[in-house]
Structure 1
Amino acid sequence: MSPGDEHDYRPTDRGGRTDDPYSTLGGTRQTRTRLPDSDAGHPQARRPARNSRSLVMIVGVVVLLIAAIAFANRGGGSDDDASPGAKGRGSTGSAPTAATGTKPVQGKDGTIASGFAHDEQGAQSAAANYSVALVSDGMFDQTRRKEISEAVYAPAVASTRQADLDRIYSDESFLRSIGLEPDGKAPQGLTFISRANPVGTKMEKYSEDTATVAVWYSALFGLAGEGSKNPVSESWYTTTYELRWVGGDWKITDFHQEDGPVPVGRDQAASSAEEMADAVQQFGGFTYAR
């Protein structure tokens, strides 16, 4: 649910001596100064010359140290690093997604991903994907809405949520206020768009079978096309989901939504109704996040 803020401390390919013949090990460009012979007023013994064998040993130790640091920063090792961006048990906060080569989900329920991992990363992934589904235009279609509800909500609350959603999305006054027909479809010649674009997720609380995950996202909503009285606009929200591990997957038991954080808008000119309609039809929304 912008994600290079992290500093990369891995050594570069230039570790060790650089191509500069006057550079010493580590690139400090230090030189050795030979002190004058000691005299009575300055009883300073001359340092013995360092032989080539000592220099070779030092270079070897430094090379091994660099290799060890590079291996550690590569993240291979503990089981906790097996899931991308995962943090330790009981930890909270944001965690950037990192590639692991492991398939993040094992299946899908319709167009909605399912089979999320039983860990913090899996809970965050589920919350981001459920945001996309619950804000999609499929919620305005009775059949599709039922499929979404059954896919994202825990069985214990699914029927209650379904009834609440049907009451909201079948309200003709509500549909009329956003420019849709009584059946939830867009008027002829217009294209309806409702999409959530997750920016990031944050783990608020985690235990073995429950998780509280906040999803920050932008939403596009409105009617695209000539003559639209509800042009497509952008809004920003944070929805916090209460999730429970049920039947081998993460499911929603409750949620609450709040506005923002909202970024400052740039001085970009809004696209024409025709351009927006074309973009909506040509660019499909993502069906899997994180």
Structure 2
Amino acid sequence: MKQTAYIRYSWGVLGYTIAVILWGAYVRATGSGAGCGSHWPLCNGEVIPISPRIETLVEFTHRVSSGLTLVLVVGLVIWAFVAFPGRHPARLGACVSGILVMSEVAVGAGLVYFELVAGNASAARAIAIAVHLVNTFLLLGALTLTAWWASSGVLPVLRNQGRLPWIIGLSLAGVLIVGMSGAVTALGDTLFPASSLAQGVQEDLSPVTHFLVRLRVVHPFLAVLVALGAGAGALFVRDLKPEAATRRLALSLVGLFGIQLAAG
């Protein structure tokens, strides 16, 4: 009974965390990251902002929802040690999730303290955004594995699997790199919006524009390259391991890459 409830809870935490991340993207897109000033964890020096602006409400909501994520993940860790026996993989996933949610909070606080928000167009902000994105991806991965392992209790076997570990590792690394370039590209689009496609292309290719603008041209090529490579890798794994679940997941992954490219 405890394990069944934990499985539901772990998938619920994953879904909630995705919603928080999407709201965080909205914070960046609207330039509301400085809505609480350089104060953290307080908002403009107040526990609850009085007469807040729209930007303050957006940022404050993100902080509150992120704080709840921390509480939920801490609960995930504690409950894993109650619900599962020693050396169960769900415990490992929960502990890694706990570490990553702490680093997620630390990175978010650093963005505020060092004022790497709002209209800041420095290289330091671009690096911080990329690091933030990688940590977020790793957190989502850890939460997903926690829920998956809680549901199945089975660790993947990577030894004596030929090229399989390399395919998976390179695909994951490629996705992280594309995510980093996408985060920096989105930052450039937010800070230096183009009024038309023609103007955007002209600015992307100009040697005198801001580096965040020039980097925008790199992301589409990286995205296509990684999508094709990872998609081919997924099909290779499907043929290597022709079980029904593997085939279903591989085809789903290829479909998701296609949707992602179309959306981009």
Shorter-chain TM band: under 0.3
Larger Rg: 1
Provide TM-score, normalisation by structure 1. 0.20
Determine which structure has the larger strand proportion and give its number: 1
